[in-house]
Structure 1
Amino acid sequence: MVTDAAPASPALPARSILVHDALRAAGIPGEIVVLPDAASTAVLAAEALGVEVGAIANSLVFWSDDEPLLVMTSGAHRVDTAALAARLGRGKIARATPDQVRAATGQAIGGVAPTGHPAPLTTIVDEDLAAYPEIWAAGGTPHTVFPLTYDQLVRLTAATVAKVD
């Protein structure tokens, strides 16, 4: 489990406070954990938390049909954008630029949370995350993460569940 992490406190970064408040508003009790080092990739987050990389809900922002698309994928997967676009009946899905990510989420790449954005995002959740009793997502910065269940993630994001790889 988490060894070198501190529980959420009033000293959370501003972006993480927004995420914390959104979690509480949704009835999700998971505390935001501040990691000593940035965990901007699923592998780094899994190592810091002592969990399988597949239990990391990796937040990837794409651009499709003139809007941002948040894909919450298992850290063990890569998103097949062509296959996902076909499954969803969307036009091309392309990686968002850092500026598009920041505008859509208010958060930087490597720390994008599934919530706490300026406006709700169309979200896809990887069906394979359901295999884990507890998953971890970014908490609004590359140094913050929080635990939740698959069902909580789907409910929190009002997501469409899909195969993403």
Structure 2
Amino acid sequence: MLTIGSNKNRWLLVEFVDMSTVDASAGKEPLSSRSLDGRLIYNALRDSVVSNFGDTGWGAVGMSLTVKYFSPTTNLCIIRVARDHHRIAWGAVTLLTGIHDIRVIPRVIHVSGTIKHAQLSAIAHNREVIARFRTKVKDAALRHDSYDDYLARSTREIEALQD
């Protein structure tokens, strides 16, 4: 049965690259140690949609836009938006330059039609990021304990997400 206004969604998997780690002269703490959360990301997305696509753009995506997951460790975010207007949200994400006075470069890693594919991509991306972190850590004990705990916890959180 076809319903008008069906709840088809798109899932954006976004990594926020912290500009303070790129620009060493900034003298700021890394993104992971500052207070960035889903609410701040949502507010920044709302502001980006309004400033770049106007009230009409916000009217199109506002009811369906949701930040479902954010990891301050890997700077990974899962965003849900209605399928019909996902390009507005994607554009707004791409045009972000900062979130709550934190300079970032958003990188859309994956766009999916199902939460399951977004979850699989997020888990794989977290593993890749943690593998890169591990290569930089000299102490083998630190490499396994904290990162293994993080991967297990983040995998549980991501798998628990519901549409």
> Which TM-score bucket, shorter chain as reference?
under 0.3
Q: Which has the higher contact order (CA 8 A, sep 6+)?
A: 2
Which structure features the higher share of helix residues?
2
Question: How does the TM-score come out when normalised to structure 2?
Answer: 0.27
Question: How does the TM-score come out when normalised to structure 1?
Answer: 0.27
